[in-house]
């Protein structure tokens, strides 16, 4: 696509928010269970829609011939399975990112692993997507893994899904069988918050209804996969979304410049508008939106900017700047739905940190209340959760942080849970309920501050290694105390 | 503000977000500056991310001593014009052993003069994070990489132990002895890089533009005779060809393409029209199956 075509694509959808910068690009997730043929479907899409260069074409033809997995056919999955381990085992263990353009649109394809043990990689991929293709094998229909994937797509906020019923060639292009699968899936999808559900019968291996219209299925008169992808609207935000900008950094430069750097996560702000720091409640007026390309009059969702205020709010990274009327909650008790990503199951005694927008907050205590059953999609009472589970939980924070409900403002209502000792990302979640003030540090919480740790850490100085060791010891002590039933908060700032 | 097309604007904002997250979360970052077009864009985005302050980290160039002369001149001019801190590191053990791209296979040469050199420089500087210009569209194992790519001690990469990265949230909390590579250009394509260079009117190394240059053809690839160290095979007679480069590296290992593209818009048009992927011009990547993944596991970039 050339640049003229790009600006055409931009003006192609007049109905969307004029400030939405993403309309020309679509981020597309593909998922399904093992052997449904995901990699083949994407390979076919790239191959037929001209996303493959000549040397890649030659390499794939050569390798397909050597392996002869599909008889004389081309093995399109070779385009996607990039890692040596994957080529050896013939499975997709991690998400692969592919990029291609047609005359109409720029696409990012996020190919996610089908194998159940790599569901966490799938959740990672899904969180970046505007739309998901859920692939099912026409011979087997909707499976447990399809339900799990649909549940994860829903959890991470995907609103639009395409059910691609693949391998139609294997069931003699049967409309009856296809309609049964479609109806089965629509029943399941009713449990979720999807706004658009489209289903398309395809055969990735032959290319039917992927880019070219199938001649074998005259009974299907909907769009081909590519036709739909080229015309569907990407994620859009409501016109009047409240303004939020989580502060990433405070930038200081010569001649007294002091600005708050961050990416606007929702809404629009103009020079002269009043802003408030959600945590302290202090307000200021926006006097300047600074960028290297010159000052701006306004900034909207998706813009990476630096805001200069008329008064110094004494805030730092982790603060959320918001409009004065509709503010985030300054919360220290949360309820959330999360997908557990770590191989180590949830441990109520371990130390966790909550990373939300730009803040990192210690978790004082956390409990699981329910797990989603992937057969029925109902939630059942539970107190434990492990890798690949979707769980509802309650989290008490060591201090309050500015947060929104995910259903209202996804980018200030999502979080990942971090293991305080090894730094691993153990879960990704969305805020479903918040409360202020309930978990204020009371008499029953032991605060591990510098005074209490001074003896244990007397041998440590200020080097980076020593500071890391200080942190490690504090976390280990907290684990011991929690296992003895003592609620603990680590606060080494005081 | 320049008239960025919508998706470039989105990519630019995403990259700036990544730079700021890394600068906020890591103690001692460094920007791996390899002088090419991707590094040019990377540096430009770093300047935007922290403007009006200067980027809060130095640049690091791993110099194998076999880079094109035009690259070194461009590097020094850029650093002086923008008033940046530059660290240049060469593996002097390798140099003392005369490790070079003629006597040693590309895998050995790259390991010693690039991978080991990079590890030495990162360890010597005590850096816990290194920005790189790698893009997921370059190569199959890159397509699987995270934005924050964690490395165990010894800088090795284990694709099975990659941290999940969800939404816009980047978790930079390091475990013991871990370091991280940060890739702000992850979601850019080669065409995006060129479009961005055009729109932002960025200066790039002249080698990207077609010009008559002294060359030989070896194994079907056009190599430039950049200085007197180029070893000619019997019968090889250097002659002028009108060439340019899609990717830049060590001159004996970087193949040129014949081209008439002397202006940015012509380079962009040629790139969008390209029927061969960009790394086809990098001889080191074809040395063995999964070459890039092997190099990454050993700590390359």
The per-residue pLDDT for range A282-300, each reduced to its tens digit, is 999 999 999 999 999 999 9
A3-40 pLDDT, tens per residue?
A: 333 333 333 233 333 333 344 689 999 887 767 777 78
pLDDT at B224 over 70: yes
Tokens of B54: 């200067």
**Greater pLDDT, A288 or A124:** A288
**A277, A416: one domain:** no
CA angle in degrees (0–180, nearest 5) for A420-A421-A423:
70
Residues in B touching A423 (Cβ below 8 Å) = 171, 173-175, 178
CB A397 within 8 A of CB A366: no
The model's pTM is 0.86
pLDDT at B281 (0 to 100): 55
pLDDT at A22 (0 to 100): 40
Looking at A400, A423, A440, the residue that finishes a domain is A440
Residues in A touching B14 (Cβ below 8 Å) = 304
pLDDT at A473 over 70: yes
**A429, A449: one domain:** no
A186 to A225, A404, B81, B204: CA distances (angstroms): 18, 30, 61, 53
Contact B173 A353 (CB under 8 A): yes
Contact A21 B274 (CB under 8 A): no
Contact A94 B139 (CB under 8 A): no
Average pLDDT estimate for B172-201: 91
CB B164 within 8 A of CB A425: yes
Residues in B touching A294 (Cβ below 8 Å) = 1
Contact A95 B144 (CB under 8 A): yes
Grade residue A79 by pLDDT with cuts at 50, 70 and 90: low
Question: Considering only A325-329, A442-446, B160-164, B255-259, which range has the smallest mean pLDDT?
Answer: A442-446
Residues in B touching A97 (Cβ below 8 Å) = 136-137, 143-144, 186-187
Residue A238 forms part of a structural domain: no
Compare all CA atoms of chain A with the CA of B150 and give the residue at the minimum distance: A424
Contact A156 B276 (CB under 8 A): no
**A48, A101: one domain:** yes
Residues in A touching B23 (Cβ below 8 Å) = 249
B105-158 pLDDT, tens per residue?
A: 988 999 999 999 999 999 999 999 999 999 988 876 777 788 999 888 777 777
Residue A298 forms part of a structural domain: yes
DSSP letter at B116 equals I
Looking at A307, A323, A339, the residue that finishes a domain is A323
**What is the rounded distance in angstroms from the CA atom of residue A415 to the CA atom of residue A328?**
15
pLDDT at A314 (0 to 100): 87
Q: What is the mean pLDDT of chain B?
A: 88
**Percentage of residues in chain B with pLDDT exceeding 90?**
68
Compare all CA atoms of chain B with the CA of A124 and give the residue at the minimum distance: B166
Residue A15 forms part of a structural domain: yes
**What is the rounded distance in angstroms from the CA atom of residue B55 to the CA atom of residue B16?**
11
Asked casually if ipTM beats, i.e. exceeds, 0.85, the reply is yes
**A103, A221: one domain:** yes
pLDDT at A44 over 80: yes
Packing angle, helices A3-10 and B6-25, rounded to 10: 90
**What is the phi-psi region of residue B172: left when phi exceeds 0, alpha when psi lies from -120 to 50, beta otherwise?**
alpha
Among partner residues A25, A423, A424, which is closest to B10 by beta-carbon distance?
Answer: A25
pLDDT at A52 (0 to 100): 62
CATH number of domain containing A177 = 3.40.50.300
pLDDT at A438 over 80: no
pLDDT at B299 (0 to 100): 56
Residue A237 forms part of a structural domain: no
Question: Within 13 Å of residue A295, how many CA atoms lie on the same side as its CB?
Answer: 10
pLDDT at B6 (0 to 100): 80
Residues in B touching A95 (Cβ below 8 Å) = 144
Looking at A127-267, list the stretches that DSSP marks H as alpha helix, in order from N- to C-terminal side.
144-156, 175-189, 225-231
Grade residue A182 by pLDDT with cuts at 50, 70 and 90: very high
pLDDT at B3 (0 to 100): 45
Give the range of the structural domain holding residue A288, as residue numbers without chain letter: 244-323
Looking at CA atoms only, how far is residue B16 from chain A in angstroms? 7
CA angle in degrees (0–180, nearest 5) for A11-A15-A17:
90
Contact A293 B50 (CB under 8 A): no
Average pLDDT estimate for A45-71: 65
Question: Considering only A333-337, B176-180, B249-253, which range has the smallest mean pLDDT?
Answer: B176-180
**What is the rounded distance in angstroms from the CA atom of residue A393 to the CA atom of residue B183?**
33
pLDDT at A91 (0 to 100): 47
Q: What is the mean pLDDT of chain A?
A: 84
Task: Determine if the peptide bond prior to A444 is cis (ω within 30°).
Answer: no
Q: What domains appear along chain B, each with residue ranges and CATH number? A: 6-194+290-297 (3.40.50.620), 206-286 (no CATH)
**A189, A102: one domain:** yes
Looking at A323, A348, A381, the residue that finishes a domain is A323
Question: Considering only A212-226, A362-376, A401-415, which range has the smallest mean pLDDT?
Answer: A362-376
Residue A239 forms part of a structural domain: no
Contact A422 B126 (CB under 8 A): no
Compare all CA atoms of chain A with the CA of B22 and give the residue at the minimum distance: A248
B176 to A233, A390, A423, A467, B272: CA distances (angstroms): 44, 29, 9, 12, 44
Among partner residues B9, B163, B195, which is closest to A424 by beta-carbon distance?
Answer: B163
pLDDT at A135 (0 to 100): 93
pLDDT at A20 (0 to 100): 35
Among partner residues B14, B52, B144, which is closest to A96 by beta-carbon distance?
Answer: B144
Residue A36 forms part of a structural domain: yes
β-bridge pairing A329-340 and A390-403? antiparallel
pLDDT at A9 (0 to 100): 31
Grade residue A136 by pLDDT with cuts at 50, 70 and 90: very high
Residues in B touching A9 (Cβ below 8 Å) = 6
**A370, A484: one domain:** no
Contact B13 A303 (CB under 8 A): yes
Among partner residues A249, A290, A423, which is closest to B52 by beta-carbon distance?
Answer: A290
Looking at CA atoms only, how far is residue B96 from chain A in angstroms? 33
pLDDT at B43 (0 to 100): 98
**A433, A314: one domain:** no
**A192, A337: one domain:** no
Grade residue A65 by pLDDT with cuts at 50, 70 and 90: low
Grade residue B2 by pLDDT with cuts at 50, 70 and 90: very low
**What is the rounded distance in angstroms from the CA atom of residue A24 to the CA atom of residue A6?**
7
Residues in B touching A156 (Cβ below 8 Å) = 166-167
pLDDT at A172 (0 to 100): 95
**A200, A258: one domain:** no
Among partner residues B21, B53, B294, which is closest to A252 by beta-carbon distance?
Answer: B53
Question: Considering only A5-19, A30-44, A319-333, B19-33, which range has the smallest mean pLDDT?
Answer: A5-19
Grade residue B81 by pLDDT with cuts at 50, 70 and 90: very high
Grade residue A137 by pLDDT with cuts at 50, 70 and 90: very high
pLDDT at A19 (0 to 100): 34
**A39, A25: one domain:** yes
Among partner residues B160, B164, B277, which is closest to A56 by beta-carbon distance?
Answer: B277
Residues in A touching B7 (Cβ below 8 Å) = 6, 21-22, 24-25, 106
**A433, A451: one domain:** no
Which parts of A254-358 are beta strand (E)?
Answer: 257-263, 268-270, 274-277, 283-290, 298-300, 304-309, 320-323, 329-340, 352-356
Residue A196 forms part of a structural domain: yes
**What is the rounded distance in angstroms from the CA atom of residue A424 to the CA atom of residue B163?**
7
Average pLDDT estimate for A207-212: 92
Domain count within chain A: 4
Q: Is A345 exposed, middle or buried (0-12, 13-18, 19+ CB in 10 A)?
A: middle
Residue A236 forms part of a structural domain: no
**A21, A123: one domain:** yes
């Amino acid at each position: 696509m050339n640049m003229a075509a790009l600006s055409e694509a931009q003006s192609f959808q007049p109905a969307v928010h004029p400030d939405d910068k993403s309309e020309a690009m679509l981020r597309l997730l593909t998922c399904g269970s093992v052997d449904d043929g995901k990699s083949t479907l994407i390979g076919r899409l790239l191959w037929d829609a001209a996303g493959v260069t000549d040397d890649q074409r030659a390499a794939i033809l050569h390798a397909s011939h050597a392996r002869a997995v599909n008889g004389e056919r081309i093995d399109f999955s070779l385009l996607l399975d990039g890692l040596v381990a994957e080529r050896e085992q013939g499975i997709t263990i991690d998400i692969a990112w592919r990029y291609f353009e047609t005359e109409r649109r720029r696409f990012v394809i996020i190919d996610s692993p089908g194998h159940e043990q790599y569901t966490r990689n799938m959740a990672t991929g899904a969180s970046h997507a505007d739309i998901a293709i859920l692939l099912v094998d026409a011979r087997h229909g909707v499976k447990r893994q399809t339900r799990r994937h649909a549940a994860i797509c829903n959890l991470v906020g995907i609103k639009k899904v395409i059910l691609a019923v693949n391998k139609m060639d294997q069931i003699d292009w049967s409309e009856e069988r296809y309609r049964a699968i479609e109806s089965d899936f629509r029943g399941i999808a009713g449990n979720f918050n999807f706004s658009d559900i489209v289903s398309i019968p395809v055969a990735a291996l032959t290319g039917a209804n992927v880019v070219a219209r199938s001649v074998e299925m005259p009974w299907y008169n909907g769009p081909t996969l590519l036709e739909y992808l080229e015309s569907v609207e990407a994620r859009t935000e409501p016109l009047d979304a409240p303004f939020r900008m989580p502060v990433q950094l405070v930038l200081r430069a010569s001649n007294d410049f002091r600005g708050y750097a961050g990416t606007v996560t929702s809404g629009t702000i103009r020079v002269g508008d009043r802003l408030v720091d959600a945590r302290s409640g202090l307000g200021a007026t926006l006097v300047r939106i600074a960028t290297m390309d010159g000052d701006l009059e306004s900034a909207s969702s998706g813009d990476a900017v630096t805001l200069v205020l008329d008064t110094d709010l004494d805030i730092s990274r982790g603060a959320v700047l918001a409009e004065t009327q509709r503010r985030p909650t300054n919360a220290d008790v949360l309820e959330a739905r999360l997908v557990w990503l770590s191989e180590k199951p949830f441990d109520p005694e371990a130390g966790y940190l909550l990373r939300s927008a730009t803040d990192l907050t210690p978790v004082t205590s956390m409990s699981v209340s329910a797990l989603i059953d992937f057969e029925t999609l109902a939630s059942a009472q539970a107190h434990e959760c492990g890798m690949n589970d979707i769980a509802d939980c309650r989290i008490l924070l060591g201090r309050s942080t500015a947060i929104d409900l995910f259903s209202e403002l996804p980018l200030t209502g999502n979080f990942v849970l971090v293991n305080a000792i090894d730094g691993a990302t153990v879960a990704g979640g969305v805020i479903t309920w918040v409360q202020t003030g309930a978990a204020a540090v009371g008499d029953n919480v032991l605060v591990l501050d510098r005074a209490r740790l001074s003896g244990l850490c007397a041998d440590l100085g200020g080097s980076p290694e020593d500071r890391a060791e200080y942190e490690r010891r504090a976390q280990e002590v907290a684990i011991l105390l929690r296992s003895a039933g003592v609620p603990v908060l680590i606060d080494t700032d005081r | 503000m320049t008239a960025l097309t919508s998706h470039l604007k989105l990519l630019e904002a995403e990259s700036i977000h990544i730079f700021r997250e890394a600068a906020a979360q890591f103690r001692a970052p460094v920007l791996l500056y390899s002088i090419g077009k991707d590094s040019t864009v990377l540096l430009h985005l770093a300047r935007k991310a922290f403007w009006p302050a200067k980027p809060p980290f130095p640049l690091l160039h791993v110099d194998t001593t076999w880079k094109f002369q035009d690259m070194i001149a461009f590097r020094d001019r850029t650093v002086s014009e923008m008033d940046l801190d530059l660290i240049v590191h060469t593996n002097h053990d390798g140099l003392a052993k005369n490790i070079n791209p003629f006597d040693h296979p590309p895998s050995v040469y790259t390991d010693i003069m690039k991978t080991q050199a990079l590890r030495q420089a990162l360890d010597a500087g005590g850096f816990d994070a290194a920005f790189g210009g790698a893009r997921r569209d370059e190569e199959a194992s890159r397509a699987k990489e995270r934005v924050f790519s964690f490395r165990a001690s010894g800088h090795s990469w284990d694709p099975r132990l990659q941290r999940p990265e969800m939404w816009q949230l980047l978790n930079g909390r390091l475990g013991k002895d871990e370091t991280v590579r940060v890739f702000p250009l992850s979601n850019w394509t080669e065409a995006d890089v060129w479009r961005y260079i055009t729109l932002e009117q960025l200066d790039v190394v002249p080698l990207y533009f077609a010009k008559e240059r002294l060359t030989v053809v070896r194994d079907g690839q056009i190599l430039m005779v950049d200085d007197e160290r180029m070893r000619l095979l019997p019968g090889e007679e250097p002659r002028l060809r009108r060439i340019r480069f899609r990717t830049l590296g060590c001159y004996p290992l970087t193949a040129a393409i014949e081209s008439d593209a002397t202006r940015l818009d012509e380079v962009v048009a040629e790139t969008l029209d390209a029927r061969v992927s960009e790394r086809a011009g990098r001889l080191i990547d074809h040395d063995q199956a999964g070459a890039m993944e092997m190099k990454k596991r050993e700590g390359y970039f």
